[in-house]
Amino acid sequence: MERLFHSVRITINDKLYVKDPESSNLGKRIVEESILMINDIGFESFTFRKLGQKIGSNESSIYRYFENKHKLLLYLASWYWGWLEYQLVFATNSIPDPNTKLERAIEIMTQATEIDLAFTHINEILLNKIVINEYSKSYLTKEVDQENKEGYFVIYKRLVNRMRLMINEVNADYPYSASLASTIIEGALHQYFLMDHFSSLTSCNKTTTPTEYFKHLAFNTLNIKNNG
Amino acid sequence: MERLFHSVRITINDKLYVKDPESSNLGKRIVEESILMINDIGFESFTFRKLGQKIGSNESSIYRYFENKHKLLLYLASWYWGWLEYQLVFATNSIPDPNTKLERAIEIMTQATEIDLAFTHINEILLNKIVINEYSKSYLTKEVDQENKEGYFVIYKRLVNRMRLMINEVNADYPYSASLASTIIEGALHQYFLMDHFSSLTSCNKTTTPTEYFKHLAFNTLNIKNNG
DNA sequence: TAGAAAATGATAGTATTACTTTTATATTTG
DNA sequence: CAAATATAAAAGTAATACTATCATTTTCTA
């Protein structure tokens, strides 16, 4: 797959950075190592000072790329959702049957992440873990409405909307398509978190995947015989 | 309702506080005003110093009740889930029919919060808002496994488990009862958040409630004709 | 009801965070 | 090669999240 998409770039709202991190080597290292570090020590303990030390650069240089770590998190999350959106569109585009299409969409949105060799400086598996553990913190803030207006969440919203449309195609009379779409996308993150930390609160494990659960949930609530 | 329960107390893991806030007037004021303040300025901006100023007490005195604001949040959340659990058990206890029982349970877990006059120093409506906006932050941490071992989340886990059991009673063959239970409880918080900040991502609004959505979701996925 | 014990308040201090500012040095580009 | 740009180094600031010490007030109890 990677060969086809060497030239694909995820486009991110330019208000999320001061200087585009894709435009320089240092910028890419900031992104690359911040993913490792946030994953390692958690977003709360992560600081630009520590990141600077790790990449042998200066704190003040990192501030020339990102205003603060909150924006860096929004950037990383946007990249992740943009990347997922790309896969979603690519995988479902050519499927004419709405049921099969939705089924494939749910798979894309709820499956365990795999590495994409097209982006060498981004570890998608770790980024997925960051999204599971930290994404909520990016919008559970007092500034969410302002930041939403600024367009910091457009990719995520577009992605949920794509899911919603596919749900509508399966059952146009279903009155909760937006809620079901957001439940699947946000719920998948939550189920993965529970698998790691609160196993008694989920039915998912190595043999029963979140994908299976959400497929069953979606097709039954849409009154369609479950494909999965 | 309040008359019956004047003597009811929500029991909270005593590792969550240094000194029981229910044991003194200052303790109750800390709880009461922290709810108002966290709601007002958000958990990130909330500090014990500011709280002390607001209640005319000293920062160091607040530290004699709670080790830090993280533990205070865990305390408030535990109180909230304990209070909901109480309502859940009370409301469903005497219902023999599993379908009606689950329906009532979903209502309790997903309805808009109402004030409970039995607890004068706690504003349940604001506390519900805090849980919607801040609860995830209490477990999305690097310390979650340790804190889970210490029992900081027992009430929440018990509550999800009660839901799971009620789902099992409706359909013993349904293989995802734990996931459905956690999806309803966590998903309800999320849908309320979306209603406030990302209305395009939810089908819920003033006329279509999260309760309606989750009832439909649960009973359809359990292959039971929707009661709602 | 005095005296002890406990609770609370006032003040100061510390390490860290989340930046900003300034100046110096290295790198790129025209 | 000069000028522009990028990066580094160092220092400074206000706020946070505490801890420690001691004084004062309140409460319990003999």
For B:23-52, CB contacts with A below 8 A are 41-42, 44-45
Residue A227 maps to a domain: no
Least confident among A109-118, A141-150, A165-174, B56-65 = A109-118
> How far B208 CA sits from the closest chain A CA (Å)?
9
Domain around A170: 2-221
How far B184 CA sits from the closest chain A CA (Å)? 9
Identify from B138, B145, B183 which residue to disrupt to test chain A contact, counting A C-beta atoms within 10 A and taking the largest count. B183
CB contact under 8 A, A190 and B191: no
Chain A CB contacts of B201 under 8 Å are 157, 160-161, 178, 181-182
Q: Is A228 contained in some domain? A: no
Q: How far is the CA of A60 from the C1' of D9 (A)?
A: 10
Q: Considering only the beta carbons, identify the residue of A144, A175, A198 that sits closest to B197.
A: A144
Kindly report, residue by residue over A26-39, the tens digit of the pLDDT: 999 999 999 999 99
Q: Is residue A183 part of a domain?
A: yes
CB atoms under 10 Å from CB of A67, counted, come to 13
Averaged pLDDT, B50-78: 97
User: Which residue in B44, B157, B216 is closest to A201 by CB distance?
Assistant: B157
- Over the stretch A187-207, which tens digit does the pLDDT of each residue have? 999 999 999 999 999 999 999
* Residue A183's CATH number: 1.10.357.10
- Assess if residue A226 is contained within a domain: no
Question: Residue A157's pLDDT is what?
Answer: 98
The tens digit of pLDDT for each residue in A95-151 reads 999 999 999 999 999 999 988 888 889 999 999 999 999 999 999 999 999 999 999
Residue B66 is assigned to a structural domain of this protein? no
In 3D, which of B198, B36, B39 has the Cα closest to residue A145?
Answer: B198
* Residue A170 confidence (pLDDT) above 60: yes
Phi, psi of A151 (to 5 degrees): 90, 20
Q: Do A216 and B216 touch (CB under 8 A)?
A: no
B9 — contact with chain A (CB < 8 Å)?
no
Residue B17 maps to a domain: no
Q: How far is A105 from chain B (nearest CA, A)?
A: 17
In a domain, B67, yes or no: no
**For chain C, which bases have at least one atom within 7 A of a protein Cβ?**
7-12, 17-22
Number of structural domains (chain B) is 1
Residue A223 banded pLDDT, cuts 50, 70, 90: confident
Q: Tell me whether residue B106 is in a domain.
A: yes
